């Protein structure tokens, strides 16, 4: 017996506006809309609706809206509708609950409890429209031994560095989890912006090798698509140890999503599940991690920075300290709100810690141990605006990864149903008829627009603080004040309360 679960959202059609043009029907891969020839009207089945707003956006007469259903079980502050429905779903199926995108639960967002400083009277703000405002930066190990050759000239002992024109990179999203056109949009935008996109664990499509100098390639436990040419083509190599949306568990791309093209890119057979085990089975310690870091450096003749990506978890500072000593050039930390193409709901919503707290702890620990300059710090999961970027850098990050925000720019409406593979916006799908809805010529421009706009805003905020270089903002926590935070939160973030003077 399956208990009927009423849909959370309902499709509402304004019959006075609807002209039965059937655009909604053609646009919906979930087959919500259909034309009834008997009445000559459109009918919607809300049960199938994932609330992706594709029909709402494309309806030429704006006749559609999606509303939250007012149907409710008897109100209960402990057992809300969602919690009850999840029990029903599991009792119906016996399955693990599977969700997509970042943790939507109402946990505190610490970005929104930090405020940025501005100069008044004693040190003047800078106007970025008339004075240079530097947002260019380099990622990589900065500490280098001073060595001279026999003529006394300084030898270049600096480790390889990644140059960024903006303090924003596109985070790892694999081909397979997102579409070819989404990848092309990210790659072209990264090239135009002077930054990087990240292949995720899905290999690098043969068409995208030409964007290699703006590409970070990932090496994860499944090693999909990893071979000499892949490593050689990239600007940097990222070892994925963990992901904020699902710390401690691996990945699993179902065989149904392994199309011919995805198969070729991942270098695995078509139709067979692609399983990334939870651990790297050759890594059980920092020494083992060091082995993987150096095997990659040896394979690429020490020409490329190696990034180690981890999820923000409880003992993050000690883990990051170990990574900084493993030979990695950059540590990427992914917070518990980071997105995903599919994760067990319980893991996504309950495992990991906020990126704000993790970042502050890591930066402080590396400073205390005198090894902060041995690595750069990248943070993601989730960075939602230019203000989040400024706050992250003031807390100690070198630059930020954006994933969800980039997908929103491409049309994603956060329906959180990526795992179904029927993305009506052509992003999280491999169905050719859906993929072609995302035009990379437009998609890449929208990404460039977003990051360019954020960069202007970052420059404005920096100017307001009287800071003219992004590197002078890094770890400058006096530029932040807390609001609505308790003592422990202020201590971990290393900031004063709003109104407190230096």
Which residues lie near another protein (CB under 8 A)?
Answer: 86, 89-90, 92-99, 219, 221-223, 226-228, 231-232, 252, 254-255, 263, 267-269, 271-273, 275, 277, 281-282, 291, 294-295, 298-302, 344-345, 417, 419-420
Contact 76, 27 (CB under 8 A): no
Q: Which is nearer to another protein, 1 or 488 (CB)?
A: 1
DSSP string for 31-90 = --EEEETTTTEEEE-GGG-----HHHHH-TT--EEEEE----SSP-SSS-HHHHHHHHHH
Nearer to another protein, 295 or 315 (CB): 295
Q: Which residue, 5, 193, 166, is CA-closest to 90?
A: 5
Separation of alpha carbons 419 and 428, rounded Å: 8
**Are the CB atoms for 160 and 137 separated by under 8 Å?**
no
Q: By the 8 A CB rule, do 377 and 362 touch? A: yes
CB of 97 to another protein, least distance (A): 4
Q: Which is nearer to another protein, 125 or 254 (CB)?
A: 254
If the CB atoms of residues 25 and 86 are measured against another protein, the closer one turns out to be 86
Q: Which two tokens stand for residue 12?
A: 């509402």
Indicate the residue among 43 and 87 with the shorter CB distance to another protein: 87
The residue among 95 and 152 lying less far from another protein, judged by its C-beta, is 95
CA distances for 394 relative to 116, 342, 354, 370, angstroms = 9, 32, 16, 19
Residue 155 gets which letter from DSSP?
A: P
Identify which of residues 145 and 488 has a Cβ nearer to another protein in the complex.
145
Alpha-carbon span 231 to 292, nearest angstrom: 13
Q: How far apart are CA 323 and CA 238, in angstroms?
A: 13
* Spatial CA neighbour of 398 closest among 277, 464, 307: 307
- The answer to whether the CB of 448 falls within 8 A of the CB of 163 is no
Q: Name residues whose C-beta falls within 8 Å of residue 297's C-beta, 6 or more positions apart in sequence.
A: 304, 306, 327
Q: What are phi and psi of 467, to 5 degrees?
A: -110, 130
Q: Encoding tokens for residue 154?
A: 């300084």
Distance CA 437, CA 439 (A): 6
Pairing, β 399-402 against β 64-68? unpaired
For another protein, the closer of residues 222 and 411 by Cβ is 222
Q: How far is the CB of 179 from another protein (least distance, A)?
A: 20
Which of 117, 300 has the CB closer to another protein?
A: 300
Whether the CB-CB separation of 60 and 21 falls below 8 Å is answered with yes
How many CB atoms within 10 Å of residue 78?
5
Cβ–Cβ under 8 Å, residues 459 and 387:
no
Q: How far is the CB of 33 from another protein (least distance, A)?
A: 20
Between 94 and 499, name the residue whose CB sits nearer to another protein.
94
Q: Which is nearer to another protein, 98 or 483 (CB)?
A: 98
- Quote the least distance from Cβ 299 to another protein, whole Å: 3
């Amino acid at each position: 017996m399956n208990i009927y679960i009423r849909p959370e959202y309902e499709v509402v059609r304004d019959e006075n506006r609807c002209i039965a043009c059937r655009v909604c029907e053609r646009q919906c891969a979930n087959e919500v809309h259909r034309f009834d020839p008997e009445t000559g009207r459109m009918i919607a089945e809300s049960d199938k609706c994932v609330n992706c707003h594709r029909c709402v956006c494309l309806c030429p007469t704006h006749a559609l809206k999606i509303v939250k259903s007012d149907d409710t079980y008897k109100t209960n502050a402990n057992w809300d509708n969602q919690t009850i429905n999840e029990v029903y779903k599991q009792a119906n199926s016996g399955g693990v609950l599977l969700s997509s995108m970042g943790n939507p639960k109402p946990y505190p967002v610490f970005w929104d409890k930090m405020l940025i400083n501005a100069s008044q009277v004693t040190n003047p703000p800078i106007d970025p429209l008339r004075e240079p405002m530097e947002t260019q930066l380099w990622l990589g190990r900065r500490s280098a031994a001073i060595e001279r050759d026999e003529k006394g000239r300084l030898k270049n002992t600096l480790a390889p560095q990644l140059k960024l024109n903006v303090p924003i990179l596109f985070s790892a999203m694999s081909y397979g989890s997102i579409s070819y056109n989404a990848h092309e949009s990210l790659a072209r935008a990264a090239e135009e912006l002077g930054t990087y996109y990240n292949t995720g664990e899905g290999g690098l499509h043969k068409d995208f090798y030409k964007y290699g100098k703006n590409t970070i390639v990932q090496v994860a436990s499944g090693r999909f698509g990893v071979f000499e040419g892949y490593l050689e083509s990239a600007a940097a190599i990222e070892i994925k140890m963990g992901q904020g949306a699902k710390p401690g568990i691996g990945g699993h791309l179902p065989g149904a999503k392994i199309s011919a093209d995805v198969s070729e890119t991942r270098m695995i057979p078509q139709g067979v599940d692609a399983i990334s085990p939870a651990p790297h089975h050759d890594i059980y310690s920092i020494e083992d991690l060091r082995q993987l870091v150096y095997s990659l450096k040896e394979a690429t003749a020490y020409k490329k920075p190696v990034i180690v990506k981890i999820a923000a978890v409880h003992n993050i500072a000690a883990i990051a300290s170990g990574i900084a000593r493993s030979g990695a050039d950059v540590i990427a930390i992914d917070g518990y709100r980071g997105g995903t193409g599919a994760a067990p709901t319980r893991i996504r919503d309950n495992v990991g810690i906020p990126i704000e707290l993790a970042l502050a702890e890591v930066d402080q620990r590396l400073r205390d141990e005198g090894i902060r300059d041995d690595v750069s710090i990248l943070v993601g999961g989730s960075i939602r605006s230019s203000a989040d970027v400024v706050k992250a850098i003031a807390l100690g990050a070198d630059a930020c990864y954006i994933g969800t925000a980039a997908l929103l720019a491409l049309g994603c409406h956060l329906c959180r149903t990526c795992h179904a593979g029927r993305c009506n916006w052509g992003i999280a799908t491999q169905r050719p008829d859906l993929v072609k809805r995302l035009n990379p010529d437009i998609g890449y421009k929208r990404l460039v627009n977003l990051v360019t706009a954020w960069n202007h805003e970052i420059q404005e905020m920096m100017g307001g603080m009287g800071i003219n270089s992004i590197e002078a903002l890094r770890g400058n926590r006096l530029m932040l004040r807390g609001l609505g935070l308790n003592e422990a939160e202020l201590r971990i973030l290393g900031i004063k309360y709003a109104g407190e003077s230096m």
